[in-house]
């Protein structure tokens, strides 16, 4: 006899931050329902982003910006206050700032998310269960969704939600692999870095926040040799500061819509701030709440224009580095140990010793070979599901249950998160939230973005 199929009201595929926040919101709503969360990791709430164990790997936003409760912006600050007062994270006192301005380690943030789920569970008549497995196939009909696990077990839900989180390029098998990940060190694997010659040269591909984490990892591993960083534009993330408030200029003027208009006005506002002795980050931070509206009303051509010409500068100015990590990168650069070059990665080069890569420096036509003792892939997140060689994304595409999102960023869905199939039809049973909706909202990975999505989707699922 075959295994019996386990039945639930909601199947949540992915138990990182997105899936955990959705479960917590569902638990808080009236009624009784059964929720199953499918997650390969031993713990819920951590996922790719919050499984880091090193204290040096911190959030890139301070506590006041990172609440998982969309109805209480101070929730993380309040939780941290209690956590620190009972002996947790004693190192926090070294920063000499209010708790709301602390940048907590990501491992501690994962604990916070777990505790908020546990509290919601304790107060609810609904149930939530963690199924430790990987979903490898999904079938959807008019009445339900059937998920097949790598264990052979099948789960049936009235609704299924793709809360798959982020596919980090450094940890994601890719369908068109260059062999980069097989040859590269994990950016967060400090033990592996301790086995390097501490004086050796380390090469890093990519210069965003994953690179910052990689540099922190090398420092904690005792590395003291040269670090060579290569990225297309040679831009480093700016440090995140705590600027004063600034008038929300986009709320007052909805005529600003194209990337060119927006960029011109943002620059003008930043110049106004600087002329008044105010941090340029103040006006830039007001743009954040308007990104979803601006992105959704932009034409396909305007979106391509933004991604091609503005994105690198938006990423470096908006996705900023936590202060302590930024100080480390700045110090190593000042000492001459860390160098960033604008160059395109062209592939691995066979080498008898260490590792060698081919790069083309910006403005040059020739390809140059660069050697080092180790290589780290810090190229960020892989949003194109066609390139992610995991069973479920590939099966969903093969079955036509999903289609790539705008500009191949995540998957297509309507404004409620209901997934669009290959023909563009909106599903009544399959939904998505968080990073898979990058193409729909552009910014769909930050904690606050996901918190609001979780609340809205939980409400919708209980009303259908």
Q: How confident is the model at residue 182 (pLDDT cuts 50, 70, 90)?
A: confident
Residues linked to residue 61 through DSSP beta bridges, in sequence order: none
Question: Domains in the chain, please, with CATH?
Answer: 6-167+383-463 (3.50.50.60), 170-238+320-377 (3.50.50.60), 249-316 (no CATH)
Give residue 380's pLDDT: 84
Averaged pLDDT, 79-96: 94
Give Cα separations from 285 to 65, 248, 266 (angstroms): 11, 9, 10
d(CA 295, CA 269): 20
d(CA 68, CA 64): 11
d(CA 81, CA 417): 34
d(CA 217, CA 146): 41
Backbone CA torsion sign across 205, 213, 194, 48 = negative
Phi, psi at residue 336, to the nearest 5°? 85, 5
Asked whether the predicted pLDDT for residue 1 surpasses 50, the reply is no
Entry pTM: 0.93
Asked whether the predicted pLDDT for residue 335 surpasses 50, the reply is yes
d(CA 228, CA 372): 9
Asked whether the predicted pLDDT for residue 464 surpasses 50, the reply is yes
Asked whether the predicted pLDDT for residue 407 surpasses 70, the reply is yes
Averaged pLDDT, 330-348: 95
Asked whether the predicted pLDDT for residue 201 surpasses 70, the reply is yes
Q: Write down the residue that tokens 């604990």 correspond to.
A: 111
Q: How confident is the model at residue 441 (pLDDT cuts 50, 70, 90)?
A: very high
Give residue 2's pLDDT: 53
Averaged pLDDT, 378-391: 91
Asked whether the predicted pLDDT for residue 430 surpasses 50, the reply is yes
Q: How confident is the model at residue 178 (pLDDT cuts 50, 70, 90)?
A: low
Asked whether the predicted pLDDT for residue 326 surpasses 90, the reply is yes
Phi, psi at residue 103, to the nearest 5°? -110, 95
Give residue 176's pLDDT: 54
**Higher pLDDT, residue 157 or 289:** 157
What spatial distance separates the first Cα and last Cα of the chain, rounded to whole Å? Answer: 35
CB 461 within 8 A of CB 159: yes
Give residue 125's pLDDT: 96
Query: What percent of the chain is predicted at pLDDT more than 70?
Result: 98
Question: Over the stretch 226-259, which tens digit does the pLDDT of each residue have?
Answer: 999 999 999 999 999 989 999 999 987 778 777 7
Q: Mean pLDDT over all residues of the chain?
A: 93
Asked whether the predicted pLDDT for residue 177 surpasses 60, the reply is no
**Higher pLDDT, residue 411 or 55:** 411
Please give the order of strands across the beta sheet that includes 368-372: 368-372, 355-361, 338-349, 227-231, 202-205, 374-377
Q: How confident is the model at residue 24 (pLDDT cuts 50, 70, 90)?
A: very high
Asked whether the predicted pLDDT for residue 128 surpasses 80, the reply is yes
Question: Over the stretch 282-320, which tens digit does the pLDDT of each residue have?
Answer: 999 999 889 888 898 888 999 998 888 888 888 999 999
């Amino acid at each position: 006899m075959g295994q019996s199929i386990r039945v639930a009201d909601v199947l949540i595929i992915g138990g990182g931050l997105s899936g955990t926040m959705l479960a917590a919101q569902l638990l808080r709503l009236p009624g009784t329902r059964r929720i199953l969360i499918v997650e390969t990791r031993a713990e819920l709430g951590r996922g790719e982003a919050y499984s880091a164990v090193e204290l040096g790997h911190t959030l890139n936003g301070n506590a006041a910006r990172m609440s998982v409760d969309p109805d209480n912006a101070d929730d993380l600050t309040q939780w941290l206050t209690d956590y620190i007062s009972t002996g947790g994270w004693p190192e926090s006192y070294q920063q000499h700032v209010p708790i709301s301005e602390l940048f907590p380690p990501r491992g501690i943030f994962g604990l916070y998310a777990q505790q908020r789920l546990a509290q919601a569970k304790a107060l609810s008549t609904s149930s939530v269960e963690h199924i430790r497995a990987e979903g490898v196939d999904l079938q959807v009909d008019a009445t339900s969704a059937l998920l097949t696990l790598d264990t052979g077990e099948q789960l049936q839900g009235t609704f299924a939600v793709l809360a798959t989180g982020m596919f980090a390029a450094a940890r994601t098998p890719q369908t068109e692999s260059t062999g980069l990940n097989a040859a590269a060190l994990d950016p967060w694997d400090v033990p592996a870095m301790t086995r390097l010659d501490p004086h050796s040269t380390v090469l890093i591909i990519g210069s965003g926040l994953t690179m910052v984490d990689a540099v922190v990892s090398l420092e904690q591993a005792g590395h003291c040799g040269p670090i060579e960083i290569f990225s297309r534009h040679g831009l480093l993330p700016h440090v995140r500061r705590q600027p004063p408030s600034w008038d929300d200029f986009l709320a007052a003027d909805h005529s600003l819509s194209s990337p060119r208009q927006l960029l011109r006005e943002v620059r003008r506002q930043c110049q106004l701030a600087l002329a008044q002795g105010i941090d340029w980050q103040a006006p830039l931070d007001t743009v954040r709440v308007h990104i979803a509206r601006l992105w959704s009303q932009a034409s396909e051509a305007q979106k391509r224009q933004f991604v091609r010409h503005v994105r690198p500068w938006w990423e470096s100015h908006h996705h900023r580095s936590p202060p302590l990590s930024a100080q480390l990168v700045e110090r190593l650069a000042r000492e001459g140990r860390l160098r960033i070059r604008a160059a395109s990665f062209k592939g691995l080069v066979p080498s008898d010793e260490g590792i060698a890569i081919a790069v083309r420096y910006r403005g040059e036509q020739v390809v140059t070979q660069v050697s080092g003792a180790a290589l780290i892939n810090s190229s960020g997140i892989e949003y194109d599901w066609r390139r992610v060689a995991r069973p479920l994304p590939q099966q969903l595409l093969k079955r036509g249950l999903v289609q790539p999102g705008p500009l191949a960023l995540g998957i297509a869905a309507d404004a409620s998160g209901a997934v669009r199939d290959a023909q563009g039809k909106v599903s009544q049973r399959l939904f998505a939230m968080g990073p898979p909706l990058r193409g729909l909202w552009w910014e769909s990975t930050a904690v606050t973005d996901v918190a609001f999505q979780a609340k809205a989707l939980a409400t919708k699922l209980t009303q259908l």
